[in-house]
Amino acid sequence: MSLRVGVVGAGIMGADHVRTLHRSISGAWVQAVADVELARAEHVLASIDGGSDAWATADPAGLIADPRIDAVVIASSDATHAEFINAAVRAGKPVLSEKPLAPTLGEALELQKSVGADAGLVSLGFMRRFDPGYTQLKAAIETRSIGRPLLLHCVSRGVSSAPGTTTESSVTNSLVHELDVVPWLLNSPVVQVSWHAPTVAATAEGALQDPQLVLLRTADGVLTSCETVLNARYGYDIRCEVVGETGAISLAEPVRVITDGIGGRSVEYAADWRPRFADAYRLELQAWVDGIERGRSDSEPTPVLARLMDGVRASAVAEAVIESLHHEGRPTDVKLLEDIR
């Protein structure tokens, strides 16, 4: 029997999940879409052949509680994630939520306490764990094909920041991907951070410091630099290089064509994250659905999927980064490391 999935949130992210579930995922289909703007949910559902039983609603809580829904994908605003995750767990339904788990560490810890022994129902959308390039980096680190890792260099550049983005929210919403994928790659927790910034770019908007540079030190002694530029303008560009004792390995930007023209050669960059990480999102959603089907008796997700505790750890590191930025880049230890490791 196909898994009946309800999607909460019909913005860019939610719409992408709806279409991926409909077009590319076996063993599941979209039963309903909820958004506080009903017209947006209706538009997303109308864009697919959802079937006569699928519906749109402006009541996310009602969708989560509805007995016709087997599992829930949450792609609503960051501030709502913890509330809706909690509601899904109370309803006994597996839930895959977009990152972050919650905007603050305090809220993440409250959610952890609330779900208790049912934490196995919760998966978190750190999709880079499924990206073919990142999985090859992890394999190289684990097999020591470049020797023991010493340095990581991560770059995350977007075309333009979302309206209302602040320096703090860019940490919890954008940099948080590195805060998960770096300890996942190294299999070692982040223990110390420091935040740094150059002159603000003319392209930055509002209260946003852009660019930013964050240094992460993991328990294994590896040092990672994380460059974040939300208003790079030229395209969506994600990079990661691992420098080892005997070599280095880095992501190659996935492109299908190279253009040779007069006096030069060029490639095109994606306008946002959807083309770049389409495979990762598809693989993540399929793994989530397959894990539910395989593990209905114990509700345990696949090991690659990020779990609730991964979200708590990322929130702890994000809090340390924000503390560092509020203290002029002072190195800051990650709080509660022993409690949440």
Residue 91 exposed, middle or buried by CB count within 10 Å (0-12, 13-18, 19+): middle
In angstroms, how far is CA 104 from the centroid of its own chain?
A: 15
Reply yes or no on whether the pLDDT at 299 is more than 50.
no
Q: In whole numbers, what is the pLDDT of the chain averaged over residues?
A: 94
Is the bond preceding 94 in cis, omega lying within 30 degrees of 0?
no
| pLDDT bucket at 335, cuts 50 / 70 / 90 | confident
Domains present along the chain, CATH in parentheses: 3-128+277-306 (3.40.50.720), 129-276+316-340 (3.30.360.10)
Strands 223-229 and 264-266: unpaired
Q: DSSP string of 11-78?
A: SHHHHHHHHHHHHH-TTEEEEEEE-SSHHHHHHHHHTTT--TT-EEES-HHHHHH-TT--EEEE-S-G
The pLDDT of 120-140, averaged and rounded, is 97
| pLDDT bucket at 338, cuts 50 / 70 / 90 | low
Percent of the chain topping pLDDT 90: 89
What pLDDT, on the 0 to 100 scale, is given for residue 297? Answer: 43
The pLDDT of 154-162, averaged and rounded, is 96
Tokens coding 292: 């539910």
Reply yes or no on whether the pLDDT at 139 is more than 70.
yes
| pLDDT bucket at 337, cuts 50 / 70 / 90 | low
| CB atoms closer than 10 angstroms to residue 202 | 7
C-alpha atoms less than 13 angstroms from C-alpha of 152 in its C-beta half-sphere: 33
Q: How far apart are CA 136 and CA 138, in angstroms?
A: 5
The one-character DSSP state at 103 is S
The one-character DSSP state at 268 is P
Residue located via tokens 């964050």: 214
125 contacts 98 by C-beta, under 8 angstroms:
yes
Lowest model confidence (mean pLDDT) among 143-147, 171-175, 206-210: 206-210
| Side chain identity, residue 90 | R
What pLDDT, on the 0 to 100 scale, is given for residue 195? Answer: 98
Q: What order of strands is seen across the sheet that includes strand 95-97?
A: 55-57, 28-34, 3-8, 71-74, 95-97, 122-124, 306-307
Please write the tens of the pLDDT for every residue from 235-292.
999 999 999 999 999 999 878 889 999 999 998 999 999 999 999 999 999 999 999 9
* Closest to 197 (Cα-Cα) out of 185, 207, 187: 207
